[in-house]
Amino acid sequence: MFDYKFHVEAEKELAKLDNRVKLLFAKKLSQIIKNPQIGKNLSNRNILKLSGLKKVYFDNKRYRIVYEVIKQDIIIYIISIGKRDK
């Protein structure tokens, strides 16, 4: 499961939504957190660099969430290195 964080502008946009839409947003965000790959990949448009971003719609495609998946470092904990015995 991933954690999430908002861009400052996205926080402002969320604050402007009514409570019904905020609830729908929270439901969709929960789905994204569990499976970040549900969104469709965006590509660059004119001068906008959107490559690496994803989009997903909610509320019958009235609203769109654009997000970036930032993968966390995975630590491999090496216990031992040695020759394998039978």
- Give the domain ranges of the chain: 8-68
Mean pLDDT of the chain: 77
More confident residue, 78 or 70: 70
Q: What average pLDDT score do residues 13-18 get?
A: 87
What is the pLDDT confidence band of residue 80, given thresholds at 50, 70 and 90?
very low
Q: What is the pLDDT of residues 22-39, one digit of tens each?
A: 999 899 888 988 888 888
H or E element that contains 27: helix 19-34
Stated pTM of the model: 0.77
Between the alpha carbon of residue 16 and those of residues 9, 21, 27, 74, the distances in Å are 11, 10, 17, 37
